[in-house]
Structure 1
Amino acid sequence: MNRIAVVPAALLMSFLAACSTGPSGAELAYDGIGPDSIDSVDKRERFDKAVLPLEFKNERVSVKPGYSIAASATGSAAAVKRGNDAVNLNARDVATVEFVNAIRMNPKNADAYFGLGNSVTMRGKTNEAIAAYATALELRPDWIQARYELGMGYWKANRMDEATAQFRAILDQDARNGPAHERLAVAAYYAGDKQEALRHAAAAKAAGTDVPAQLYELLK
């Protein structure tokens, strides 16, 4: 997700062409923004426009009244695929538009909220990412990756109790989950519990997950 890539103009054009401009009942697009000028538009303006049809409230995402699109599970799945392709090309705002449209077409599509969480995380929108991942998890409670990303959202927001609660919940599902153990090792170190940190670090390593070398140095 941190990969930097140059997005070919032709590909951006295809993304933009896949959306039609229009009022709230149509798919969202970048009105008046072509592939050659998209990066020159104010970042905040682009983001605000991309998420205009959605409401982020109480750590959940919902479609605002009047912004739904004709229901289409197939269309929603296709928009998610385009969004994931855009994420892989670091086309963050194009990806967000696709995930927003996917949600508008099918508000029960957990993959769309997860993708939205990824794209807004790339934009540094932690609170919106938390809401997106929490909504995905609400729709698919056993989704470990969504729970991990939700935990990381809380971590970035310095809400450590909520973050560690998510990582512990992952271990309730999968006791050998390396990434969850690794995060809990770091959290335990910061909490001053070196024995707990060592226990989780060992479990993470046993599961094949890299543990920061500096953490071991600090735990000596």
Structure 2
Amino acid sequence: MRLATNCPFRIEYHGWSPFSHRRRGRGSLFPRRRSMWIRVLTAACVCSVLAVGCRKPAADAAVGAKEVSERTPGGTGSPIEDYRQARYLEAIRGLTYDTGVVEFAPDWREIINEDPQDLDPTVSLARGADFLKQSMFVEALKSYTRAVLLDRSNPSAYEGLAAGFLGKGKVENAMASLNSALLLDPGLLSARVELAECYGRLGDLDGAIKRWNDVLELDPSNTHAHERLAVSLYYAERFAQSWEHVHAAERLGHALPPQFRPLLQQRMAEPQS
């Protein structure tokens, strides 16, 4: 007798089946002198073990999935997805993002006190940067969240939050983080650029155009901003302005993708300077 590999509770008998009525010789499981009733009862017991045993893992899995789903806000019913969502929510505890900027949750002090040995925001910042380099976005979010909780005046911590959120595909939370960074330091060019990119990811052309113009206010020679503006204005069907930024980028020595010029020329002939 051995346990079958495909079911942890299934029993196999070599050379014998509970449904076999062949005569057995010496050493068999059912000697000839045993009555047929014993054979029938034993076969029924074995079938019960097989049926109950093989159902148990599936039943346990269903119960486990239900328990995980009930513990996880917005649970999907998938244990793996609910586990990931629980880790993500745990990582960002203490901060909220619903108003377009980062705000502190009512229990933020209690969250800090959960680890009284970890009170240096610079350590959290360095840890978050290391996690980002490894594309460990949930861990990075947890580190940058703690950095913000410990020191809300550091724009770099908010930029780190934005990077973590973008890694998880949470664009609106990233935008709230970048808005908070810019409230602290309006001259933070990297935050302006990333915020403009976020509007583009959401398909908000007007928002993207406004934010790329904000970049150019701070850095008029930013060729990337000119390129992105040329493309955004093209899709907004503002072709004359698109040509202006094509020319501005080229004057700065930056060539746009070769397929863009022909597309723009199809919509509007190139103005003569």
TM-score exceeds 0.5:
yes
Any conservation in 2 of the 1:75–1:105 contact (CA below 8 Å)?
yes
Match of 1:6 in 2: none
1:69-113 Cα deviation digits (max 9, x unpaired)? 379xx8212211221121111111111111001001001111001
Q: Residues 132-143 of structure 1 correspond to what in structure 2 (within 5 A)? A: 132-143=177-188
Any conservation in 2 of the 1:63–1:103 contact (CA below 8 Å)?
no
TM-superposed CA distance for 1:140, in Å, is 0.6
CA change 1:55–1:186 in 2 (3 A) is same
Equivalent residue for 1:131, pick from 163, 172, 176? 176
Equivalent residue for 1:79, pick from 108, 124, 130? 124
Name the aligned partner's letter for residue 86 of structure 1. F
Match of 1:60 in 2: 101
Name the aligned partner's letter for residue 64 of structure 1. A
Match of 2:18 in 1: none
Any conservation in 2 of the 1:130–1:150 contact (CA below 8 Å)?
yes
Any conservation in 2 of the 1:154–1:162 contact (CA below 8 Å)?
yes
Query: Cα RMSD (Å) of the superposition?
Result: 2.2
Distance 2:253 2:178 in 1: 25
Match of 1:203 in 2: 248
Match of 2:85 in 1: 44
1:190-214 Cα deviation digits (max 9, x unpaired)? 0122332222123234445563332
Q: Residues 24-173 of structure 1 correspond to what in structure 2 (within 5 A)? A: 42-68=83-109, 69=112, 75-173=120-218
CA change 1:209–1:95 in 2 (3 A) is farther
Distance 2:135 2:258 in 1: 29
Runs of 5+ consecutive residues of structure 2 not aligned to the other structure: 1-79, 266-273
Distance 2:120 2:174 in 1: 23
Any conservation in 2 of the 1:92–1:119 contact (CA below 8 Å)?
yes
Match of 2:269 in 1: none
Equivalent residue for 1:175, pick from 194, 215, 220? 220
Distance 2:126 2:103 in 1: 20
Name the aligned partner's letter for residue 201 of structure 1. V
Distance 2:125 2:82 in 1: 24
TM-superposed CA distance for 1:135, in Å, is 0.5
Distance 2:107 2:181 in 1: 22
Matched position secondary structure for 2:195:
helix
Q: TM-score if structure 1 supplies the norm length? A: 0.74
Q: TM-score if structure 2 supplies the norm length? A: 0.61
Match of 2:271 in 1: none
Runs of 5+ consecutive residues of structure 1 not aligned to the other structure: 1-38
Distance 1:109 1:101 in 2: 12
CA change 1:43–1:213 in 2 (3 A) is farther
Matched position secondary structure for 2:240:
helix
Distance 1:137 1:184 in 2: 21
Distance 1:83 1:215 in 2: 38
Q: How many residue pairs end up in the alignment?
A: 180
* Larger relative contact order (CA 8 Å, sep ≥ 6): 1
Higher Cα radius of gyration: 2
Match of 1:193 in 2: 238
